[in-house]
């Protein structure tokens, strides 16, 4: 038993090192002024200052956030309303909705983007706009995770019974859905949205194929400048990491507040 | 005209007919239990009354108003569900104010009603608590408080105690009955537990396969079951065919119907006690189970099993294999309808 534990711990430590090492090296590198021997000659925050005063980098971050948030919000709203209709009015449609939402998992992102590009780029519809095209590609991209997350949450809180209870108390279904169901499942929705957001924020392949010339996010900016100065690149990666962690923490904080944990503490006080 | 009238209601799910021409009338302030096995249609009837299910045919009348096609939101009916269905994102206070917000009742009045109703259910100190912070029993009481706070015309209870442990369940049965009497609220209670129905109700409506099997006061249903189903469902009746009756007592019953004998009306003794008013037979104890102060005996009489219940008394205990005399008064042999 003890031997098994030791072996398990060794595997855990090696895996952690394997995962953290590139990141740790990048962060150490981002602080290195000059690095010509085994250890860096001096440490500096110069590259961080340089990145944080670089308007292209900052605009890229902002663009990355905007282009990731819009599809996430759109898909969440769409799936919530669809599942509300399915649960309340058309329960038999659920399997078809599920099939539609899961299909994108079977399609490779690059193939999806290329196919959409060749279909819509020459058309005279609104979808020929690269930014709009990108938003909808991202919508398709985060559809399966969002659907599965929201669906599981709605069934976990027994949506139908809660809506029936609210109906008996005088509320119509939509009012009950907005006042009871949405706030109840909001922590789970936020967690699912965070997964989708992280996936989209970290993307540079799809954006490069569809809209690189028109819409430069921080990912495409870093990719473009990866060979200019390596410490600068590493500082950019470190800043993005910190930013993602802050967003994660904020979402978790809000989600746990919505869960009523804070309320519980307040009541206990 | 009665307060609630359910007139020839029919309801089917696909090809399954759940309610078959169902009719029942309920007085104002009455506590009626719908009792029956799973799938007999009792919950469906309650959902039809609440408006959560539509009826295929028939009419529902509440306080003189035809509510058959009135949506659930507008029926002014309170309902407590089996799973409580409290809103998890709201405190007890918010849960209770929810129906009153919709009715646009002034805040002051809302506050007064919430305080009153929480006092009735004994949860005044839990006003600010969230449902997840309450025990099952407390949640059930909040659900009851929420159902009555908007002063509905009828209170519907759909197996509200089935998820609660036995001891708390007994307390809540008494408490619900007390609150119902205090508010004189017309109540329809669904249960599959005959003891619960007997304890709480003014009248019990026994359902079987979407039809009323028997309606009456609890004591009448228990002492005078009309059908084989009623006798089998209520208590531990011995239900005997004509052949079995003849096999046991050596006499033919006057009619060809089944006969029901309550186990506690059979008297057990070591010696025969002859009487013209009673049947007397000898049998052999095959099994005995003690449930609290009651002893359930299985007695083999001429190859037919009879259930006999006696009070636990140390001087009158019988062992398996022991010969005993059984006497049952003729008037306690109840003839059942076909």
3-state SS, residue B72: helix
Q: How confident is the model at residue A4 (pLDDT cuts 50, 70, 90)?
A: confident
Contact A170 B89 (CB under 8 A): no
What residues of chain B lie within 8 A of the CB of A162, using their CB?
85, 87
CA B236/CA B291 separation, integer angstroms: 13
pLDDT surpasses 60 at A260: no
Residue B228 shares a structural domain with residue B240: no
pLDDT surpasses 50 at A268: no
Sign, CA torsion A4/A7/A13/A18: negative
Residue B197 shares a structural domain with residue B265: no
pLDDT, residue A265, reads 44
For A2-64, the DSSP string reads: HHHHHHHHHHHHHHHHHHHHHHHHHHHHHHBS---SSS-S-B-SHHHHHHHT-HHHHHHHHHH
Among candidates A157, A169, A184 on the partner chain, residue whose Cβ is nearest the Cβ of B98: A169
3-state SS, residue B58: strand
Report yes or no on whether pTM surpasses 0.90: no
| Chain B interface includes A91 (CB < 8 A) | no
Q: Please give the average per-residue pLDDT across A167-189, as a whole number.
A: 91
Closest residue in chain A to residue B97, using alpha carbons only: A169
Lowest mean pLDDT among A92-106, B161-175, B194-208: B161-175
Contact A161 B146 (CB under 8 A): no
Lowest mean pLDDT among A100-109, A149-158, B21-30: A100-109
Residues 6+ apart with CB under 8 A from A257: none
Q: Please give the average per-residue pLDDT across A26-45, as a whole number.
A: 82
Contact B102 A260 (CB under 8 A): no
Residue A201 corresponds to which tokens in the numbers above? 């924020």
Residue B224 shares a structural domain with residue B259: no
Q: Which domain holds residue B211?
A: 4-232
Q: Tens digit of pLDDT for each residue in B189-214? A: 999 998 899 999 999 999 999 999 99
Residue B286 shares a structural domain with residue B166: no
Q: What angle do CA B173, B178, B182 make, to 5 degrees?
A: 150
Q: How confident is the model at residue B260 (pLDDT cuts 50, 70, 90)?
A: very high
CA B272/CA B13 separation, integer angstroms: 56
Contact B52 A184 (CB under 8 A): no
Residue B198 shares a structural domain with residue B122: yes
Assign residue B29 the CATH number of its domain.
Answer: 3.40.50.300
Closest residue in chain A to residue B90, using alpha carbons only: A180
Assign residue B249 the CATH number of its domain.
Answer: 2.40.50.100
pLDDT surpasses 80 at A140: yes
Among residues B211, B232, B253, the one where a domain terminates is: B232
Q: Tens digit of pLDDT for each residue in B4-56? A: 999 999 999 988 999 999 999 999 999 999 999 988 999 999 999 999 999 99
Contact B91 A263 (CB under 8 A): yes
Among candidates B73, B79, B129 on the partner chain, residue whose Cβ is nearest the Cβ of A171: B73
Residue B23 shares a structural domain with residue B154: yes
Neighbours of B1 (CB within 10 A): 7
Q: How confident is the model at residue B131 (pLDDT cuts 50, 70, 90)?
A: very high
Residue B77 shares a structural domain with residue B48: yes
Q: Which fold has domain A62-268?
A: MetI-like fold (1.10.3720)
Closest residue in chain A to residue B98, using alpha carbons only: A169
Query: How far B80 CA lies from chain A's nearest CA (Å)?
Result: 8
Residue B15 shares a structural domain with residue B77: yes
Closest residue in chain A to residue B158, using alpha carbons only: A165
Q: Write phi, then psi, for B165 (nearest 5 degrees).
A: -65, 160
Residue B247 shares a structural domain with residue B225: no
What residues of chain B lie within 8 A of the CB of A255, using their CB?
none
Q: Which regions of B133-201 does DSSP assign to beta strands (E)?
A: 154-158, 186-191
Among candidates B87, B103, B130 on the partner chain, residue whose Cβ is nearest the Cβ of A264: B130
Q: Are strands B304-311 and B278-291 parallel, antiparallel or unpaired?
A: unpaired
Among residues B232, B261, B290, the one where a domain terminates is: B232
Q: Where are the domains of chain A?
A: 1-44, 62-268
pLDDT, residue A2, reads 67
What residues of chain A lie within 8 A of the CB of B51, using their CB?
167-168
Residue B132 shares a structural domain with residue B206: yes
Among candidates A161, A171, A183 on the partner chain, residue whose Cβ is nearest the Cβ of B89: A183
pLDDT surpasses 50 at B308: yes
For residues B22 and B10, the answer to whether their CB atoms sit within 8 Å is yes
What residues of chain A lie within 8 A of the CB of B155, using their CB?
none
pLDDT, residue A266, reads 43
For residues B7 and B61, the answer to whether their CB atoms sit within 8 Å is yes
pLDDT surpasses 90 at A81: yes
| Chain B interface includes A153 (CB < 8 A) | no
Contact B73 A167 (CB under 8 A): yes
pLDDT, residue A262, reads 44
| Chain B interface includes A156 (CB < 8 A) | no
Question: Best mutation site among A159, A169, A260, A265 for testing chain B: the one with the most B CBs within 10 Å?
Answer: A169
Among residues B232, B252, B285, the one where a domain terminates is: B232
pLDDT, residue A258, reads 65
Contact B52 A267 (CB under 8 A): no
What residues of chain B lie within 8 A of the CB of A179, using their CB?
98
For A169-192, the DSSP string reads: TT--HHHHIIIIIHHHHHHHHHHH
pLDDT, residue B273, reads 80
Contact B150 A170 (CB under 8 A): yes
Contact A170 B52 (CB under 8 A): no
What residues of chain B lie within 8 A of the CB of A180, using their CB?
87, 89-90
Question: Best mutation site among B48, B67, B72 for testing chain A: the one with the most A CBs within 10 Å?
Answer: B72
Question: Best mutation site among B73, B78, B134, B143 for testing chain A: the one with the most A CBs within 10 Å?
Answer: B73
Q: Is B191 left (phi over 0), alpha (psi -120 to 50) or beta?
A: beta
What residues of chain A lie within 8 A of the CB of B129, using their CB?
267
Residue B108 shares a structural domain with residue B197: yes
Q: Please give the average per-residue pLDDT across A36-52, as a whole number.
A: 84
| Chain B interface includes A263 (CB < 8 A) | yes
CA distances from A23 to A29, B56, B184 (A): 10, 67, 71
Residue B273 shares a structural domain with residue B318: yes
Q: Edge-to-edge strands of the sheet including B333-335?
A: B238-240, B259-261, B333-335
Q: Tens digit of pLDDT for each residue in B108-129? A: 999 999 999 998 888 889 999 9
Lowest mean pLDDT among A203-212, A235-244, B71-80, B289-298: A203-212
Sign, CA torsion A96/A98/A99/A104: positive
pLDDT, residue A220, reads 85
User: How many structural domains does chain B have?
Assistant: 2
Query: How far A193 CA lies from chain B's nearest CA (Å)?
Result: 20
CA B331/CA B262 separation, integer angstroms: 11
């Amino acid at each position: 038993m003890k031997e098994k534990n030791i072996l398990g711990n060794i595997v855990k430590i090696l895996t952690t090192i394997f995962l953290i090492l590139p990141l740790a090296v990048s962060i150490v590198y981002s602080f290195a002024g000059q690095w010509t021997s085994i250890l860096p000659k001096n440490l500096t925050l110069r590259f961080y200052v340089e990145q944080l005063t670089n308007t292209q980098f900052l605009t890229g971050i902002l663009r990355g956030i905007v282009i990731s948030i819009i599809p996430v919000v759109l898909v969440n709203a769409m799936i919530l309303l669809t599942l509300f209709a399915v649960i309340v009015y058309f329960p038999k449609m659920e399997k078809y909705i599920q099939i539609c939402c899961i299909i994108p998992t079977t399609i490779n992102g690059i193939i999806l983007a290329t196919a959409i590009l060749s279909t819509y780029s020459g058309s005279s519809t609104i979808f020929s706009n690269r930014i709009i095209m990108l938003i909808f590609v991202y919508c398709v991209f985060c559809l399966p995770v969002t659907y599965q997350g929201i669906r599981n949450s709605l069934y976990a809180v027994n949506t139908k019974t809660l809506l029936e209870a609210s109906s008996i108390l005088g509320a119509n279904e939509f009012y009950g859905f907005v006042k009871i169901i949405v706030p109840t499942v909001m922590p789970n929705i936020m967690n699912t949205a965070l997964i989708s957001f992280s996936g989209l924020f970290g993307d540079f392949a799809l954006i490069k194929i569809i809209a690189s010339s028109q819409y430069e996010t921080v990912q495409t900016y870093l990719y473009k400048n990866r060979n200019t100065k390596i410490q600068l690149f590493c500082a950019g990666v470190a800043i993005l990491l910190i930013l993602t962690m802050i967003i994660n923490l904020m979402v978790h904080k809000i989600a746990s507040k919505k869960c009523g944990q804070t309320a519980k503490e307040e009541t206990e006080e | 005209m009665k307060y609630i009238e359910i007139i020839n209601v029919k309801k089917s799910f696909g090809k399954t007919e759940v309610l078959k021409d169902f009719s029942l009338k309920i007085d104002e302030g009455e506590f009626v239990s719908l009792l029956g096995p799973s799938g007999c249609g009792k919950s469906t009837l309650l959902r039809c009354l609440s408006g959560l299910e539509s009826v295929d045919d028939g009419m529902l009348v509440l306080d003189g108003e035809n509510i058959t096609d009135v949506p659930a939101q507008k029926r002014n009916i309170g309902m407590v569900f089996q799973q409580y269905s409290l809103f998890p994102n709201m405190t007890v206070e918010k849960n209770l104010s929810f129906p009153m917000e919709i009715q646009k009742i002034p805040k002051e009045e809302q506050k007064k009603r919430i305080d009153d109703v929480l006092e009735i259910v004994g949860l005044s100190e839990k006003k600010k608590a969230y449902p997840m912070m309450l025990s099952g029993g407390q949640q059930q009481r909040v659900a009851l408080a929420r159902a009555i706070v908007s002063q509905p015309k009828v209170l519907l209870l759909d197996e509200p105690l089935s998820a609660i442990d036995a001891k708390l369940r007994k307390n809540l049965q008494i408490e619900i009955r007390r609150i119902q009497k205090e508010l004189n609220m017309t109540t329809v209670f669904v249960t599959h537990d005959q003891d619960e129905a007997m304890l709480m109700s003014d009248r019990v409506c026994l359902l079987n396969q979407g039809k009323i099997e028997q309606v009456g006061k609890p004591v009448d249903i228990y002492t005078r079951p009309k059908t084989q189903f009623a006798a089998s469902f209520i208590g531990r009746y011995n239900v005997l065919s004509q052949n079995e009756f003849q096999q046991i007592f050596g006499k033919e019953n006057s009619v060809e119907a089944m006969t029901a004998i309550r186990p506690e009306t059979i008297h057990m003794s070591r010696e025969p006690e002859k009487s013209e008013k009673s049947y007397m037979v000898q049998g052999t104890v095959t099994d005995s189970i003690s449930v609290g102060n009651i002893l359930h005996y299985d007695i083999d009489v001429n190859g037919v099993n009879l259930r006999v219940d006696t009070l636990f008394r140390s001087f009158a205990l019988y062992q398996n294999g022991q010969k005993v005399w059984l006497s049952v008064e003729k008037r306690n042999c109840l003839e059942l309808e076909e």
